[in-house]
Amino acid sequence: MQDVAALAGVSMATVSRVLSGHPDVSPETRDAVQRIVRQYGFSKNRSAGALSAGKTSLVGLTLPRIDAPYFAAILDSATEALYEQDLRVVLCPTHHEHEREIVLLERLMHGMTAGALLVMPHESNEELRTLQNHGYPFVVVDPLRSVADGIPCVSPNHYIGAVAATEHLIDLGHRRIAAIKGYDGWLATEERLTGFRSTLLGAGIAPDPRLEVSSDYGIERGREAALLLFNQPEPPTAIFGFNDNIAIGAMIAARERGLRVPEDVSIVGFDDVVGARTAFPPLTTVRQPLAEMGRIAVDLLTRLLDGKPLDAVRVELQSKLVVRESTAPA
């Protein structure tokens, strides 16, 4: 930078001002500096800038895993939104390991990043509160468990989506409707389950515990769970998979049993990840606004970074049913 200053016949301070887009520089000076900068292809050292200004243009993003379409979609939109703010993402997959999250966050917050997006974190509310008290800005996205008041958070409305899915099945005339749940204790699982049961109840159908089986939100466990269901003396005529993976696994299980989807059994999923539309048959599912979730989270975070107040610390997004071909009248 010194060289640029010398070549432009100004001081480093001025070069710094030009490079940072500071207003108090005369047009001529600015032009002169910019010419030299372009000519020599100069570019300021980010580490030095970060140290000196006490802030970086990096944002941390922790998430369980990358190679799941669900998270990839959030990651994609968040990264893009951040890019538009000239912010870069430091990627931190946690593999659902709480320990790793802690280590990563600890590193992230010490001078490396300006703030973070925590996708489905395993942090407890106390831990999050501590982070907050350290003055580190962050936004929780799609919390794994219920998040305490005052912690910025954007989440999907699981309940509404589950109601829509269940109603759809009921409207088609199904009465024996099974649910293949995800991990117990997760907010997504519990709220979807509540939506499922209360809708059944509302239609005068008593929830049957034998028709509620668990899985891990993966295709394989979804398949196994469906097989369990099909093996019952009175198998369900419809299955609500708590995510698309489960639903796809259930379709595979149905085929193994020689059952046609949707003629013999209707299947509905949740999330509407990319594979849902191209599955066979195309999956009826609940669309989650994943891209929007990423963008809104970035929005909240940048506001936090700018020290502006948040209009809402908690944003809840609506999801809606997308009817395709995996469901039919009972």
Partner DNA sequence: CTGTTAGCGCCTTCAA
Partner DNA sequence: TTGAAGGCGCTAACAG
Question: With CB under 7 A as the contact rule, which of the stretches 13-21, 96-104, 116-124, 271-279 interacts with DNA?
Answer: 13-21
Point out which residues pair with 240 in neighbouring strands.
Answer: 179, 268
Shortest spacing between CB 36 and a copy of itself, in angstroms: 16
Cβ atoms 282, 326 nearer than 8 A: yes
Amino acid at residue number 148? A
Residue 58 binding: pick among a copy of itself, DNA, none (C-beta 5-8 Å cut-off by kind): a copy of itself
In Å, how far from its chain's centre is CA 87?
Answer: 18
Cβ atoms 301, 61 nearer than 8 A: no
DSSP string, 160-198: HHHHHHHHHHHHTT--SEEEE--STT-HHHHHHHHHHHH
Shortest spacing between CB 146 and a copy of itself, in angstroms: 27
Q: Does 88 sit near a copy of itself (CB under 8 A)?
A: yes
Kindly tell me which residue out of 26, 133, 231, 278 binds DNA, with binding defined by CB under 7 A: 26
Q: Does 306 sit near DNA (CB under 7 A)?
A: no
Cβ atoms 244, 272 nearer than 8 A: yes
**Three-class SS of residue 316?**
strand
Question: With CB under 7 A as the contact rule, which of the stretches 52-60, 133-141, 213-221, 237-245 interacts with DNA?
Answer: 52-60
Q: Does 46 sit near a copy of itself (CB under 8 A)?
A: yes
For DNA, the closer CB: 30 or 158: 30
Q: Does 58 sit near a copy of itself (CB under 8 A)?
A: yes
Kindly tell me which residue out of 20, 130, 146, 318 binds DNA, with binding defined by CB under 7 A: 20
Residue 1 binding: pick among a copy of itself, DNA, none (C-beta 5-8 Å cut-off by kind): DNA
Q: Does 45 sit near DNA (CB under 7 A)?
A: yes
CA–CA dist 73, 288 (Å, integer): 10
CA–CA dist 213, 97 (Å, integer): 25
Tokens of 4: 């640029």
Question: What residues from 209 to 248 belong to the interface with a copy of itself (CB under 8 A)?
Answer: 219, 248
CA distances from 66 to 46, 155, 189, 217, 240 (A): 27, 19, 21, 15, 25
Cβ atoms 210, 179 nearer than 8 A: no
320-322 and 314-317: which strand pairing?
unpaired
Q: Does 69 sit near a copy of itself (CB under 8 A)?
A: yes
Question: What residues from 87 to 116 belong to the interface with DNA (CB under 7 A)?
Answer: 111
In Å, how far from its chain's centre is CA 120?
Answer: 7
CA–CA dist 294, 289 (Å, integer): 9
Residue 124 binding: pick among a copy of itself, DNA, none (C-beta 5-8 Å cut-off by kind): none
How many residues sit close enough to a copy of itself to count as binding (CB under 8 A)? 45
Q: Does 2 sit near DNA (CB under 7 A)?
A: yes
Q: Does 25 sit near DNA (CB under 7 A)?
A: yes
Point out which residues pair with 59 in neighbouring strands.
Answer: 89, 115
Tokens of 326: 């995996």
Shortest spacing between CB 296 and a copy of itself, in angstroms: 18
What is the contact surface with DNA in residues (CB under 7 A)? 1-2, 9-14, 16-17, 19-20, 23-26, 28-30, 44-45, 48-49, 51-54, 111
What is the contact surface with a copy of itself in residues (CB under 8 A)? 43-51, 56, 58, 61, 65-67, 69, 72-73, 75-76, 79-80, 83, 88-93, 106-107, 110-112, 219, 248-249, 251-252, 255, 274-275, 278-280
